[in-house]
C-alpha cells in the first residue's frame, strides 16, 4: 500500500498488476537457481541475491511508472529465489548435530533484524520523523552496504590476504594447527560433486538419502504450507483495508513488529530444544495442517480487525517455528552435496503452486476471488492436505510394523539356528565323553 499512496497507483492496479508478478518471477528464477546452486558452490548465487536486492531498492526509490514498480517484483522475485543458497551454504559448513542450532540462530537473527527495522520505520512514520520515501532510500543504502560482506564470503583469500599471511607466521601455535586440521576435515568431508547433469544429481541425492519417506513428507508439507502462507503475506494488507474503515486507528506496523518479535523468539528457542523432531513427523504434519485450516477459515470470516491481527500473528509464528523444524530435518537426512538441490526443488515447487493459485484464483484468468474467498480456499487445501498426511502416516506405520515383524522373525530364526547348533555341539560332546568312559 506504500506505493499506492505515494506514487499514485490504485489498489486494483497493485492487487492485480503488481503483487502477482512476484510469484511468477520467483518461479522463473527458481529454475536456473535449482540447476546451478550446487554446481556453482552457492557463493555466486549469494552475489545474485545481493545485486537483486539493490536493484529492487533502486526501482522502488526512483521508479514512478507502473512498469518500474512491476520490475521491483521481478527483481525481488530473483532475490527471494536465491535465498536457498544462503541456508544451503551454511549447512555445508556445520556438523550434522549442529544443524538445528544453526537453523534456529540464523532464522532468529534474521527475524530480529526485521523486527528492528519494522519498529524503527513505524516509530519514524508515527512521530513524523521521516516519510515513506526515506524508508525506501534507507532500504537501498543498506542493500548497497551489504554487498561488501557478500564479496568477503565469495573471495575470502583476496579480501583477507594480509590476515592469511599473518596466520602463516603463527604456524607454531598448536591450537591454530588443530583448528586447521578440523577445517580441512570438514572440507574433505563436504567436497562438492560438481555436475550440470540434473538427473545425475537427483540420482546422487536418492542414493545418499537416509530416509526417503521423511523427504517426501516434509518436502510436500513445506511446499503446500509455504505457498498458502506466502499468499497470505501478499494479500493480508489488502484484506485488512475494508476491516479498518470502522476503526479509528491503524496498527499494521505495530502488528508486524509484534509478529516478527514473537517469530524471532520462537525460532531462537528452537535452537535450544533437544528434541528428536523426526520421531513426531506424522503428528506435526497432520495437526499443523488442521490448525492452519481452522485459522484460515477464522481469518476469512472475522470482521473484527483486532481478531484478524491476532489470527495473522498466530499463523505466522506457528509457521516460522515449523519451517525451522522442516529445514533442519531435511538438512539432516540429505547428503551435504544434495542440500542445495533439495531446497531448490522445494522452493521451485512452492513457487509453482503459488503461481498456479494466483493464475486460477486471483488474476481473473479463471476466477477473480477476493481475499476472504482466497483464505477460505486456503483453509480447504490445508484440510485436504491433513487427510493426505493421515493416509501417509497410516501407510508408514503399517510398513514399519511389517519391517519390525520381519526383523523379529529373522532374529527368532537366527536364535533357533544358534540354539540348534549349541544343542548339536553339546550332544556331540556328550557322546565323546560317553565313549571315553566306556
Which residues form the domain of 147? 2-161+214-400
CATH number at residue 307: 1.20.1250.20
Residue with the three cell numbers 529373522: 410
Spatial separation of the C-alpha atoms in residues 315 and 413, rounded to whole Å: 52
Q: How would you label 359-381 residue by residue, b for 16+ Cβ within 10 Å and e otherwise?
A: bebbbeeeeebebeebbbbbbeb
Cβ-based neighbours of 77, under 8 Å, separated by 6 or more? 21, 22, 23, 24, 25, 26, 27, 28, 29
Q: Is residue 420 part of a domain?
A: no
Number of domains in the chain: 1
Joined together, the cell numbers standing for residue 230 give: 506466502
Spatial separation of the C-alpha atoms in residues 286 and 225, rounded to whole Å: 12
Looking at residue 2, its pLDDT comes to 43
Q: How far apart are the first and last CA of the chain?
A: 106
Spatial separation of the C-alpha atoms in residues 70 and 129, rounded to whole Å: 29
Q: What is the pLDDT of residues 295-322, one digit of tens each?
A: 999 999 999 999 999 999 999 999 999 9
Q: How many residues does the chain have?
A: 438
Q: What is the pLDDT of residues 238-281, one digit of tens each?
A: 888 888 776 666 778 788 888 888 988 998 888 888 888 988 99
Q: Is residue 122 part of a domain?
A: yes
Q: Is residue 174 part of a domain?
A: no
Residue with the three cell numbers 516478527: 260
Query: What pTM, to 2 d.p., does this model score?
Result: 0.75
Q: Is residue 189 part of a domain?
A: no
Spatial separation of the C-alpha atoms in residues 426 and 376, rounded to whole Å: 74
Q: Is residue 35 part of a domain?
A: yes
Q: Is residue 204 part of a domain?
A: no
Looking at residue 379, its pLDDT comes to 96
Looking at residue 191, its pLDDT comes to 47
Q: Is residue 371 part of a domain?
A: yes
Spatial separation of the C-alpha atoms in residues 105 and 90, rounded to whole Å: 12
Q: Is residue 177 part of a domain?
A: no
Looking at residue 252, its pLDDT comes to 81
Q: Please report, in tens digits, the pLDDT of each residue of the chain (438 residues total).
A: 344 446 677 777 777 788 778 878 888 998 888 877 777 777 788 889 999 999 999 998 998 888 999 999 999 999 988 888 777 777 777 777 787 788 888 888 888 888 888 788 878 877 888 888 888 898 899 999 989 988 887 776 544 444 444 444 444 444 544 444 444 444 444 444 555 556 777 777 777 777 888 999 999 999 999 999 988 998 898 888 888 776 666 778 788 888 888 988 998 888 888 888 988 999 999 999 999 999 999 999 999 999 999 999 999 999 999 999 999 899 888 877 777 788 888 888 988 898 888 888 876 666 778 889 999 999 999 999 999 999 999 988 888 787 776 666 666 666 666 666 666 666 666 666 556 655
Query: What torsion do the CA atoms of 287, 293, 294, 297 make, to the nearest 10 degrees?
Result: 180
Spatial separation of the C-alpha atoms in residues 166 and 401, rounded to whole Å: 59
What are the residue ranges of helices labelled H in 169-211? Answer: 174-189, 198-207
Amino acid at each position: 500500500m506504500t506505493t499506492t499512496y505515494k506514487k499514485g497507483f490504485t489498489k486494483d492496479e497493485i492487487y492485480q498488476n503488481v503483487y502477482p508478478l512476484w510469484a511468477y518471477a520467483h518461479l522463473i528464477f527458481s529454475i536456473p537457481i535449482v540447476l546451478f546452486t550446487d554446481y556453482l558452490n552457492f557463493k555466486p548465487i549469494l552475489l545474485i541475491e545481493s545485486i537483486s536486492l539493490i536493484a529492487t531498492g533502486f526501482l522502488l526509490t526512483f521508479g514512478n511508472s507502473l512498469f518500474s514498480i512491476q520490475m521491483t517484483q521481478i527483481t525481488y522475485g530473483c532475490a527471494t529465489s536465491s535465498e536457498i543458497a544462503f541456508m544451503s551454504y551454511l549447512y555445508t559448513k556445520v556438523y550434522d548435530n549442529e544443524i538445528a542450532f544453526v537453523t534456529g540462530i540464523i532464522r532468529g537473527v534474521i527475524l530480529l533484524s526485521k523486527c528492528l527495522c519494522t519498529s524503527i520505520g513505524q516509530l519514524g512514520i508515527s512521530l513524523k520523523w521521516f516519510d515513506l520515501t526515506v524508508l525506501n532510500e534507507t532500504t537501498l543504502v543498506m542493500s548497497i552496504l551489504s554487498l561488501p560482506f557478500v564479496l568477503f564470503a565469495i573471495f575470502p583469500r583476496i579480501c583477507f590476504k594480509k590476515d592469511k599471511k599473518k596466520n602463516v607466521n603463527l604456524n607454531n601455535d598448536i591450537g591454530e594447527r588443530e583448528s586447521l586440521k578440523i577445517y580441512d576435515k570438514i572440507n574433505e568431508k563436504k567436497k562438492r560433486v560438481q555436475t550440470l547433469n540434473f538427473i545425475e544429481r537427483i540420482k546422487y541425492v536418492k542414493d545418499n538419502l537416509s530416509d526417503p519417506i521423511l523427504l517426501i513428507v516434509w518436502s510436500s508439507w513445506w511446499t503446500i504450507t509455504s505457498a498458502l502462507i506466502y499468499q497470505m503475506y501478499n494479500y493480508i494488507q489488502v484484506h485488512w483495508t475494508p476491516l479498518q474503515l470502522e476503526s479509528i486507528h491503524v496498527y499494521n506496523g505495530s502488528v508486524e513488529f509484534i509478529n516478527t518479535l514473537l517469530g524471532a523468539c520462537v525460532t531462537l528457542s528452537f535452537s535450544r530444544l533437544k528434541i528428536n523432531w523426526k520421531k513426531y513427523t506424522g503428528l506435526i504434519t497432520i495437526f499443523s495442517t488442521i490448525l492452519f485450516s481452522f485459522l484460515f477459515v477464522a481469518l476469512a470470516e472475522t470482521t473484527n480487525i483486532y481478531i484478524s491481527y491476532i489470527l495473522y500473528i498466530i499463523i505466522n509464528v506457528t509457521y516460522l517455528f515449523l519451517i525451522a523444524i522442516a529445514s533442519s530435518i531435511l538438512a539432516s537426512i540429505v547428503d551435504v552435496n544434495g542440500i542445495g538441490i533439495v531446497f531448490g526443488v522445494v522452493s521451485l515447487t512452492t513457487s509453482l503452486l503459488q503461481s498456479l493459485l494466483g493464475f486460477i484464483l486471483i488474476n481473473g484468468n479463471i476466477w477473480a476471488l477476493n481475499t476472504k474467498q482466497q483464505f477460505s480456499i486456503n483453509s480447504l487445501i490445508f484440510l485436504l492436505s491433513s487427510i493426505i498426511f493421515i493416509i501417509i502416516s497410516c501407510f508408514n506405520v503399517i510398513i514399519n510394523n511389517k519391517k519390525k515383524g520381519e526383523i523379529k522373525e529373522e532374529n527368532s530364526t537366527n536364535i533357533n539356528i544358534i540354539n540348534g547348533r549349541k544343542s548339536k555341539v553339546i550332544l556331540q560332546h556328550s557322546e565323546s565323553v560317553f565313549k571315553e568312559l566306556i
